[in-house]
Amino acid sequence: MSNDYGKTPDALARLTDAQYRVTQKEGTEPAFRNEYWNNHEDGIYVDIVSGQPLFASVDKYDSGTGWPSFTKPIAPDAVTTKTDRSLFMTRTEVRSSGADSHLGHLFPDGPRDAGGLRYCMNSAALRFVPASSLEDEGYGAYRNLFPTENAQNTENQENAS
């Protein structure tokens, strides 16, 4: 997997209509009717456009809003923010730093003990990579986020020997 997380015409051509609307036209998908709002599996969430790692399940929590919510990005420079004044209000928009994909919005109502932020993301802007597939998909550097998965893999390899 390339570390160039930019936007290419090929990547844009592979998007579904909903993915394109969300990532390129700042759309929003319906609450509770999206792929990852209730996903509790270990893994990382990457930009659907570029594959850039954005969020980890260890920072995901149930915000009750119907969208996948995280307390922080996987790395401080994974996302950028900008002021969004649409819909007659001021919000903080979150975009991927590599492909500049619209991901969702940032709110100051997250869990206080985890920094107080809620990164409220659109599932259509993300692709989930299960912890068990990180190595195979080129995201092995994030394996250390999931110690339980590491222990199971080590045990499986020992049992196979």
**Residue pLDDT, tens place only, 70-119:** 999 999 999 999 998 887 888 999 999 999 999 999 999 999 999 999 99
Q: Report residue 33's pLDDT band, with 50, 70 and 90 as the boundaries.
A: very high
Helix (H) or strand (E) holding 20: helix 17-25
- The arithmetic mean of pLDDT across residues 24-46, rounded, is 97
> In the predicted model, is pLDDT for residue 40 greater than 70?
yes
Catalytic residue among 56, 94, 120, 134: 120
Catalytic residue list contains 120:
yes
Average pLDDT, the chain: 91
Q: CA quadruple 141, 147, 149, 152: dihedral positive or negative?
A: positive
Q: Report residue 160's pLDDT band, with 50, 70 and 90 as the boundaries.
A: low
Q: CA quadruple 133, 50, 128, 83: dihedral positive or negative?
A: positive
Q: CA quadruple 76, 67, 146, 111: dihedral positive or negative?
A: positive
What DSSP state is assigned to residue 154?
Answer: H
Angle at 115 between CA 61 and CA 29, to 5 degrees: 40
CB 78 within 8 A of CB 54: yes
**Residue 62: helix, strand or coil by DSSP?**
coil
Q: What pLDDT sits at residue 154?
A: 47
Boundaries of every domain in the chain: 9-160
Q: Phi and psi dihedrals of 21, rounded to 5?
A: -60, -45
> In the predicted model, is pLDDT for residue 18 greater than 80?
yes
Q: Report residue 2's pLDDT band, with 50, 70 and 90 as the boundaries.
A: very low
Helix (H) or strand (E) holding 43: strand 43-47
CATH 3.40.50.720 fits 9-160, yes or no: no
- The arithmetic mean of pLDDT across residues 41-59, rounded, is 98
How many other CB atoms sit within 10 Å of the CB of residue 138?
Answer: 13
